[in-house]
Amino acid sequence: MSVEYKGLGRRKSSIAHVKLVPGTGKIFINKRKPSEYFPNSLVIQDMEQPLVITDTRKSFDVFVKVVGGGFTGQAGAIRLGIARALLAVNQDFRKSLKISKMLTRDSRVKERKKYGLYGARRRPQFTKR
């Protein structure tokens, strides 16, 4: 039985279940490669940041199951999940991950629409007469 480290990440309405297994650096998101899953490479770079910071890019295979939201929210959720899983690998990573704000959950979510308004804050045009 091989060792595996798990991490859960959330961002906006996305939830990512991340599994790190010692390996060669392969990444699979919903059983697909990141280049097939995400539309642009900036999102992939953002997602891989914790592995780059801790210098473990080539030492773990990453398996991700992600649901909900759009691709930026999903990438943020995966990033947090990877960072939390790396803490399970080695607690010494905490300092470098914390400095680069990888362990903080981004709590910003879409504001709800209010009645009488066109969106969350956009009001109808005011007429004086």
Q: Which helix (H) or strand (E) holds 21?
A: strand 14-22
Report pLDDT for 1: 56
Cβ proximity of 79 and 27 under 8 Å: no
Nearest of 82, 61, 72 to residue 16 by alpha carbon: 82
CA 106 vs. chain centroid, Å, equals: 10
What's this model's pTM, rounded to 2 decimal places? 0.90
Distance CA 11, CA 105 (A): 7
Instruction: Give the pLDDT score at 30.
Output: 95
57-110: pLDDT as tens digits:
999 999 999 999 999 999 999 999 999 999 999 999 999 999 999 999 999 999
Query: What are the structure tokens assigned to 118, written together?
Result: 């066109």
| pLDDT grade for 2, boundaries at 50, 70 and 90 | confident
For residues 16-38, average pLDDT: 95
